[in-house]
Amino acid sequence: MNSRERYPAPGIGFGRGGGVNANPSFQSRRNQLPGSNDSSVIDEVEKTVQSEDVDSSSQDWKARLKIPPPDTRYKSEDVTATTGNEFEDYFLKRELLMGIYEKGFERPSPIQEESIPTALTGSDILARAKNGTGKTAAFCIPALEKIDQDNNVIQVILVPTRELALQTSQVCKELGKHLQIQVMVTTGVTFCNLAVYLYPIIHSLEFSLEISTEYAVAEADKLLSPEFQPSIEQLIRFLPATHQILMFSATFPVTVKDFKDRYLQKPYIINLMDELTLKVNRVELLAKKITELGHSCFYIHAKMLQDHRNRVFHDFRNGACRNLVCTDIIC
């Protein structure tokens, strides 16, 4: 069977067994029918058996899954404010759906609802969403879905740190554990030399592999910083002319906009962060940078609990630190 063949949704198709003629139980029952010359009776039995086979083939695979217990932790609206879509609505391969459900995913999060169906159409994407809202699966699921096991093609996912690379690879392995794929992590080289490092690897495999048409960039704001961007642009040269770029980040600095204008073809823009959230992120980032420069610094914003804000003001007034970063809402 072609590994790319999709499986029927409930109530549609014939499942793995093919048509009705592939069902031996039906053949047996048909041959034993009294008065089998009555075509109307035969047709009625055929429909009944076919319906039973469809229900069994479309539902049994879910019953056999090893689904973890539901996640009962509190979830913010960034995860729960969905439109009610299901992963099966995207016509994903059954093997991929099995991995998704066994990973513990029940329904797509807002960023996944926005990005997965768009990515599957082949469009470029520039997406911004908060950390912890499902961005990793939002680009891993389309990447896994678009892998064709009949052809030796690799998908490229770039992330800025070793830890994130290991985390992303683990997500790919768990989601794709029922697919016949391999996931390789490349770390341990300075990013500025990454293009030089990958060049001989890619070209040593050129007789058996092709670079995929999909190129996912996570934490785009970090990967497009001045020290990383030249390597990113170098790697883009390996992509075929008809390629797809998916960019995900929590912030969109000017470098991201410039990169979008130069390399993305009519990208679909997703922005799931309100202005307050952006101000909060900027405050925390600025405070972090000041601290990294060796200066004591606190931050405060409207999304902090009141007790935490009171503690920050108290410590700041008592001279615990010399710098305080806050949003204009607090000021």
136 in Cβ contact with 109 (< 8 Å): no
* pLDDT tens by residue, 235-292: 787 777 788 889 998 777 777 888 889 999 999 999 887 766 667 777 888 888 899 8
| Number of neighbouring beta carbons within 10 Å of residue 255 | 16
Per-residue model confidence (pLDDT) at position 209: 37
pLDDT for the residue numbered 50: 54
How do beta strands 210-218 and 244-249 pair?
Answer: parallel
Residues of the chain falling short of pLDDT 50 = 1-36, 51-56, 190-197, 199-211, 330-331
Per domain, the residue ranges of the chain are: 15-63, 77-273, 276-326
Asked if 301 and 283 touch (Cβ cutoff 8 Å), the reply is: yes
Which residue type sits at 171? V
CA dist 247 to 56, 110, 123, 313, 331, Å? 40, 16, 11, 38, 34
pTM over 0.85: no
For residue 271, the cross-strand partners are 128
| CB contact burial 111-135 (16+ within 10 A = b; e otherwise) | bbbbbbbbbeeebbbbbbbbeebbb
Only one residue has tokens 């770039």, namely 158
Supply the pLDDT for residue 276. 63
Contacts of residue 207, defined as CB under 8 A and 6 or more positions apart, other chains included, come to: none
Domain with residues 77-273, CATH architecture: 3-Layer(aba) Sandwich (3.40)
Tokens coding 258: 């410039």
- Cross-strand partners of 248: 127, 218
CA distance 5 to 93: 8
Q: What angle do CA 117, 126, 143 make, to 5 degrees?
A: 45
pLDDT for 331 equals: 41
Distances (CA, A) of 238 to 77, 203, 213, 248, 319: 39, 10, 10, 21, 55
Per-residue confidence (pLDDT) for residue 304, from 0 to 100: 81
Q: What is the pLDDT of residue 125?
A: 93
The per-residue pLDDT for 46 is 60
pLDDT of residue 32: 46
Q: Which residue has the tokens 């008592």?
A: 318
- Structure-token match 């797509």, residue found: 108
Angle of the 39-63 helix axis to the 94-102 helix axis, nearest 10: 40
DSSP per residue, 45-73 = HHHHHHHHHHHHHHHHHHHT--PPPP--S
